[in-house]
């Protein structure tokens, strides 16, 4: 495969946010966009110079014009769109949270594996250059054994009952939207989680405003994580080791700087700017893996997506929240 042809599903905030980063991705061609509304697809395509505009998700998923689809709809819509894409032999990059439920995640993972197509969660943070540098610092043993992760992701948002962040039918709540970042980060450095103790406070719509999670990892690490929409916070993250610690400078989910602190040594700052708005790195990963005929990313494998989703699912359960997958009308 010479060029990997991308299609975008949905024309909302994040689709507009990432689209400019495709220009930085070697071997990627932004071939099409699909919307539930034809005029929105055409406007999006005109605005960004994309050749294909589909007024139905199904039409793009069934077309021969794209190899991989980037699914940028609210979380409960991810499952059905991903399953339809996979069924049509398309690779998928699915926005985070991967789905609204653990069951939905398992269904998509099973389908991708059965069909032998590439699938990945769009956890862009894992691909940022300075996060890769943090992994190297750990691999070199600079902070000793990693025993903990501590961090927050507060992202204040004014409550608006019908917005996707607060509406139950659109997968609202901090656990799925922000918790996915903090848990994903902890899982990347400490591995799988065996015990979960979380507490949340809720909006009148029944989804969570904020959650704090204490996790015990299978290998013995402990993480302490908080996130929420109803307060302001730095968005910082610390990786704790037996010989020092790494501070991921705010905001940790798209950082450009880390500070490595070691006992008795002056702190060392490592800076690595992302290319574009930072989404180019995940797109480059997907493009390269597909071009190589691979079905998963070793940096963001499906098993890790499943492990993270298990934690989020448990936190939802502990908060008394039930999330549901949507029955998506894919259009004509």
β-strand pairing of 222-228 with 146-154 = parallel
Q: Residue 113 CB: number of other CB atoms within 10 A?
A: 14
The helix (run of H) or strand (run of E) holding residue 249 is none
Q: Which of 79, 90, 96, 310 binds ligand NAP (CB under 6 A)?
A: 96
- Beta carbons within 8 Å of 219's beta carbon, 6+ residues apart: 190, 191, 192
Q: CA end-to-end span of the chain, whole Å? A: 29
- Is the Cβ of residue 10 or residue 241 nearer to ligand NAP in the bound state? 10
DSSP state, residue 177: I
Q: Which two tokens stand for residue 215?
A: 């996790």
In angstroms, give the least distance from the CB of 13 to ligand NAP.
4
Residue 323 makes contact with ligand NAP by CB under 6 A:
no
Task: Judge contact between 202 and 168, C-beta under 8 A.
Answer: no
Nearer to ligand NAP, 147 or 302 (CB): 302
105 lies in the binding site for ligand NAP (CB under 6 A): no
CB 75 to ligand NAP: min, Å: 5
Q: Does 22 bind ligand NAP (CB under 6 A)?
A: no
Pick the closer one to ligand NAP by CB: 175 or 240: 175
Phi, psi angles (nearest 5°) of residue 222 = -125, 135
Q: DSSP strand E in 97-221: where?
A: 119-121, 146-154, 193-202, 208-217
d(CA 216, CA 205) in angstroms, rounded, equals: 30
> What's the rounded Cα separation, in Å, for the pair 300 and 305?
7
> Quick one: which of 10, 168, 221, 241 contacts ligand NAP (CB under 6 A)?
10
Asked whether position 265 contacts ligand NAP by CB under 6 A, the answer is no
Chain residue whose CB lies nearest ligand NAP: 12
277 binds ligand NAP (CB under 6 A): no
Token pair for 221: 């690490």
Taking CB under 6 A as the binding criterion, the range among 69-77, 197-205, 216-224, 287-295 that sits at the site for ligand NAP is 69-77
Is residue 325 within 8 Å of residue 99, measured between CB atoms?
A: yes
Contact region for ligand NAP (CB under 6 A) — 72-80, 195-203, 267-275, 310-318? 72-80
Q: Does 226 bind ligand NAP (CB under 6 A)?
A: no
3-state secondary structure of 26: coil
Kindly indicate which of the ranges 32-40, 231-239, 243-251, 311-319 contains the residues binding ligand NAP, using the contact rule CB under 6 A: 32-40
Tell me which stretch binds ligand NAP (CB under 6 A): 23-31, 74-82, 188-196, 261-269. 74-82
Instruction: Scan residues 126-165 and list those touching ligand NAP (CB under 6 A).
Output: 164
Residue numbers at the binding site for ligand NAP (CB under 6 A)? 10-14, 35-37, 40, 72-75, 77, 95-96, 122, 124, 164, 170, 177
């Amino acid at each position: 495969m010479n060029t990997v042809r991308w299609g975008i599903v949905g024309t909302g905030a994040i689709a507009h946010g990432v689209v400019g980063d495709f220009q930085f991705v070697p071997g990627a061609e932004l071939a099409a966009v699909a919307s539930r509304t034809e005029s929105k697809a055409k406007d999006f395509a005109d605005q960004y110079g994309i050749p294909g505009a589909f007024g139905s998700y199904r039409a793009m998923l069934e077309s021969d014009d794209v190899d991989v689809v980037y699914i940028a709809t609210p979380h409960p819509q991810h499952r059905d769109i991903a399953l339809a894409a996979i069924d049509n032999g398309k690779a998928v990059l699915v926005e985070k949270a991967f789905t609204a439920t653990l069951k939905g995640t398992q269904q998509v993972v099973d389908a991708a594996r059965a069909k032998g197509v590439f699938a990945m969660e769009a956890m862009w943070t894992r691909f940022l250059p300075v996060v890769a540098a943090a992994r190297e610092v750990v691999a070199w043993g600079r902070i000793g054994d990693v025993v903990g992760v501590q961090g927050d992701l507060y992202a204040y948002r004014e409550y608006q009952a019908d917005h996707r962040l607060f509406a139950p039918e659109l997968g609202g709540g901090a656990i799925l939207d922000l918790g996915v970042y903090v848990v994903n980060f902890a899982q990347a450095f400490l591995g799988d989680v065996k015990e979960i103790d979380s507490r949340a406070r809720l909006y009148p719509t029944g989804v969570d405003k904020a959650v704090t999670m204490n996790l015990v990892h299978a290998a013995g690490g402990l993480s302490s994580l908080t996130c929420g929409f109803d307060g302001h916070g730095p968005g910082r993250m610390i990786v704790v080791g037996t010989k020092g610690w790494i501070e991921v400078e705010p905001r940790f989910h798209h950082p450009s700087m880390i500070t490595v602190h070691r006992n008795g040594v002056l702190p060392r700052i490592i800076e690595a700017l992302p290319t574009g708005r930072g989404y180019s790195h995940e797109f480059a990963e997907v493009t390269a893996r597909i071009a190589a005929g691979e079905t998963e990313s070793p940096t963001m494998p499906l098993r890790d997506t499943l492990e993270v989703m298990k934690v989020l699912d448990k936190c939802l359960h502990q908060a008394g929240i039930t999330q549901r997958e949507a029955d998506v009308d894919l259009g004509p």
